Amino acid sequence: MTDKPSKNEFLKEQSNFLRGTIAEGLSVVESGAIAEEDNQLIKFHGSYMQDDRDVRGERSKKKLEKAFSFMIRLRIPGGLVTAPQWCKLDDIATTYANHTLRITTRATFQFHGVIKSNLKRTMQAIYDCEFDTIAACGDVTRGVMSVANPYLSKIHREAYEIAKRTSLHMLPKTSAYTEIWLNGKPIPGKEVTSPEKETIYGSTYLPRKFKFVFAVPPDNDVDVFAHDCGFIAIVENGELVGWNVTIGGGMGMTHGELETFPRLGDVLGFCTHEQAIDVAEKIVTVQRDWGNRSNRKLARLKYTVEAHGLDAFRAEVNKRLGYDLGEARPYKFERNGDRMGWVQSEDKKWHLTLYIESGRVKDTPEMQLRTAIRKIADLNVCDFVMTANQNLIFANVSARAKPKIDRILADHNVSIETSSGARRNSIACVALPTCALALAESERYLPTMLTKLEGILAKAGLTEKEIVVRMTGCPNGCGRPYLGEIGFVGRSPGLYNLYLGAAFDGSRMNKLYAQDVDEARALALLEPIILRYGKEREAGEHFGDFAIRAGYVKPTLISNQFHADVTLA
Ligand code: SRM
Ligand code: SF4
């Protein structure tokens, strides 16, 4: 490792607070692309330049430029969208993007396929929906996630509110975003410094991306341990007394580079509700100052925690706070999936969690999902909440409006039932054709794999058994595959590494079971395990726990020991 800062560090420093030459690049009509330096900077504005990988070869043969377009990720802390906002976002998908809305694993929307000449108009249309895309990507604090449904209880609402406040507090102070995209219009609630100064981040921002989440047990629906910093609600006598704080989670790794690994967060201590944002800020500043700025592959907080140790990190946070974090308090998670179907909240309102295949809201000949949701949004009888499992909640519905939602869904062939417990608990990252880093299919392939797995599950009498299945097109881990009881991670077209043995509540990662398996081999390996699980499982035993008890894989007990004890099948 060299101590020389990586080139991104110079780029950030010299970017004039994230402006670069983005504005100039937008007006160049000869190309659908922007300059490589601006491509790095535009991430801080919530966008990625991509190209359609399905047509790369053909275009290259014809000596044409790649089919460039932009992905835009919205900042929607807590994932809540009102019905009028949904309608406007749905219009944006038609006018500027690829006619789909993509719910992400961090409970926000992405638009895909926006061409350069429409980028500014799309950003402005998003602003008209009262959203923005600042810091949705880049070396800063990303959109902050909280519990799936803020309407479920008073505590859930508090988690949602603090996620929103944390997101605002952590926004970069630069005016670059409003200048480039919004002709200077202000972002409500966003602090602006004059003269321009990044009071939390400094001019080189963070060494790498940084993710916050807020969870309310017993649901770990945000996978709290997978993120740089998590807050776990501690509720006593029905009141939120504060938060256990976790640090050092992250899923990304690189195949074959053992110094990179996914890691689950450790509990650092406890803070009161009032202290939470201060604690969040101080943790970010320690990572800002201690994080690795020479090797971006080792720059996430998880590596900082490994390098310095949890105790030293805690001591530094305490020093910067001017008070000590408290002892962590007891909590218990039960699951990391969503609870599907209709439920009623404390205030007697109804909420429907609908399974959305890989989070892609689109119409197909078989099912007019996007149209159905749009018709429901047009009625303005609910809010919409996106979940970290890529699903959608129709929230806050009156008893009168409930049958209307059921009717519209049925009329458009959208079933609120799923064909299996495995499908209900599945996640697939985007991968091909838009993701530049994909090594294999994911979103377009997982449904096929699930159908084949469902054949085996039916044989084993396990159709309704909830099993967490996750797939990604590469080891970066966008679908949190190392927390799948069954995890598939792309290696090359058609080939995946197969992982088994994660805990159903998201508290233990899985372990590599077989390398470079194609579909036939994956199914051949999984069938006997699933059949045995059908026959030999103990009462309440989850599939991931069984895979360990039956000796298929060793448990990943210590959060960073992902690569240890692997015995390949
Ligand atoms: Fe991710 C990079 C998509 C959640 C870890 N991720 C990417 C990019 C932007 C590819 C790129 O850099 O060129 C992908 C764009 C694909 C596309 O065409 O849209 C991408 N990540 C996604 C989404 C859309 C996956 C999805 O199917 O929903 C998720 C958007 C979340 C959001 O709304 O903010 C998404 N990414 C995650 C998660 C899951 C999470 O945070 O809960 C992870 C693992 C957790 C973590 O951060 O460690 C994740 N994405 C990565 C990494 C690995 C980072 C690392 O530390 O090594 C990369 C690559 C990188 O940053 O270099 C990456
Ligand atoms: Fe792309 Fe890999 Fe993330 Fe999937 S896991 S979206 S293939 S970067």
What CATH number does the domain containing 538 carry? 3.30.413.10
Tell me whether residue 106 is one of the annotated catalytic residues.
no
- What angle (nearest 5°) sits at the alpha carbon of residue 55, between those of residues 54 and 56? 100
Given the residues 12, 43, 102, 142, select the one marked as catalytic.
142
CB of 391 closer than 6 angstroms to any ligand 1 atom: no
Sheet holding 212-215, edge to edge: 145-146, 212-215, 229-236, 239-247, 266-272
Residue 193's pLDDT is what?
85
Using the 3D structure, point to which of 287, 313, 337 is the last residue of a domain.
337
Shared-domain flag, residues 455 and 546: yes
CA of 259 from ligand 1 middle (Å) equals: 20
Q: 6 in a domain, yes or no? A: no
Shared-domain flag, residues 391 and 492: no
Say which ligand is closest to the CA of 388: 1
Locate tokens 């350069």: which residue?
Answer: 116
Residue 440's pLDDT is what?
98
Q: Write the CB contacts of 237 (distance below 8 Å, at least 6 apart in sequence).
A: none
Q: 197 in a domain, yes or no? A: no
| Rounded CA separation 81/2 (Å) | 45
Shared-domain flag, residues 494 and 405: no
Mutate to test the pocket of ligand 2, among 137, 254, 435 (most ligand atoms within 8 A of CB): 435
**CATH classification at residue 386:** 3.90.480.10
CA of 71 from ligand 1 middle (Å) equals: 12
Say which ligand is closest to the CA of 429: 1
CA of 491 from ligand 2 middle (Å) equals: 11
Residue 194's pLDDT is what?
84
Q: Please, what is the end-to-end C-alpha distance for the chain in angstroms?
A: 34
Q: 193 in a domain, yes or no? A: no
Q: 165 in a domain, yes or no? A: no
Given the residues 129, 229, 271, 474, select the one marked as catalytic.
474
In ligand 1, which atom is closest to the CA atom of 250?
48
- Name the residue with the closest Cα to ligand 1, atom 38: 478
In ligand 1, which atom is closest to the CA atom of 299?
56
Query: Angle, nearest 10°, between helix axes 276-290 and 301-308?
Result: 80
Q: Is the pTM of this model over 0.95?
A: yes
In ligand 1, which atom is closest to the CA atom of 136?
34
Check: CB of residue 293 under 8 Å from CB of residue 9.
Answer: yes
CA of 473 from ligand 2 middle (Å) equals: 5
Residue 1's pLDDT is what?
45
Domain limits for position 215:
206-337
Given the residues 429, 465, 508, 511, select the one marked as catalytic.
429
Shared-domain flag, residues 427 and 557: yes
Using the 3D structure, point to which of 290, 317, 337 is the last residue of a domain.
337
Shared-domain flag, residues 525 and 474: yes
Shared-domain flag, residues 432 and 538: yes
542, 545, 547, 548: CA torsion to nearest 10? -170
CA of 12 from ligand 2 middle (Å) equals: 24
Shared-domain flag, residues 551 and 432: yes
CB of 481 closer than 6 angstroms to any ligand 1 atom: no
* CA-wise closest residue to 419 among 471, 377, 366: 366
CA of 517 from ligand 1 middle (Å) equals: 23
Given the residues 12, 211, 511, 537, select the one marked as catalytic.
211
CB of 73 closer than 6 angstroms to any ligand 1 atom: yes
Residue 2's pLDDT is what?
54
Q: 141 in a domain, yes or no? A: no
Q: 186 in a domain, yes or no? A: no
Using the 3D structure, point to which of 385, 411, 437 is the last residue of a domain.
411
Shared-domain flag, residues 373 and 443: no
Q: Write the CB contacts of 112 (distance below 8 Å, at least 6 apart in sequence).
A: 50, 69, 71, 97, 98, 100, 102, 430, 434
Tokens representing 461? 């009498």
CB of 226 closer than 6 angstroms to any ligand 1 atom: yes
Total structural domains within the chain: 3
Q: 147 in a domain, yes or no? A: no
CB of 478 closer than 6 angstroms to any ligand 1 atom: yes
Q: 232 in a domain, yes or no? A: yes
Helices (H) and strands (E) in the chain, counts: 17, 20
Shared-domain flag, residues 445 and 557: yes
- Name the residue with the closest Cα to ligand 2, atom 2: 474
Shared-domain flag, residues 404 and 533: no
CA of 265 from ligand 1 middle (Å) equals: 18
Given the residues 73, 208, 374, 537, select the one marked as catalytic.
73
Shared-domain flag, residues 353 and 314: no
CA of 432 from ligand 2 middle (Å) equals: 8
Shared-domain flag, residues 368 and 384: yes
Residue 560's pLDDT is what?
73
Which residues line the pocket of ligand 2, CB cutoff 6 A? 429-431, 435, 437-438, 442, 472-474, 476-478
CA atoms within 13 A on the CB side of 443: 20
Q: Write the CB contacts of 507 (distance below 8 Å, at least 6 apart in sequence).
A: 220, 225, 264, 333
Tell me whether residue 435 is one of the annotated catalytic residues.
yes
CA atoms within 13 A on the CB side of 166: 35
In ligand 1, which atom is closest to the CA atom of 429?
27
Q: Would you give per-residue pLDDT tens digits along the chain (569 residues)? A: 458 999 999 999 999 999 999 999 999 999 999 999 999 999 999 999 999 999 999 999 999 999 999 999 999 999 999 999 999 999 999 999 999 999 999 999 999 999 999 999 999 999 999 999 999 999 999 889 998 899 999 999 999 999 999 999 999 999 999 999 999 999 999 988 888 999 999 999 999 999 999 999 999 999 999 999 999 999 999 999 999 999 999 999 999 999 999 999 999 999 999 999 999 999 999 999 999 999 999 999 999 999 999 999 999 999 999 999 999 999 999 999 999 999 999 899 999 999 999 999 999 999 999 999 999 999 999 999 999 999 999 999 999 999 999 999 999 999 999 999 999 999 999 999 999 999 999 999 999 999 999 999 999 999 999 999 999 999 999 999 999 999 999 999 999 999 999 999 999 999 999 999 999 999 999 999 999 999 999 999 999 999 999 999 999 988 778 999 999 99
CB of 437 closer than 6 angstroms to any ligand 1 atom: yes
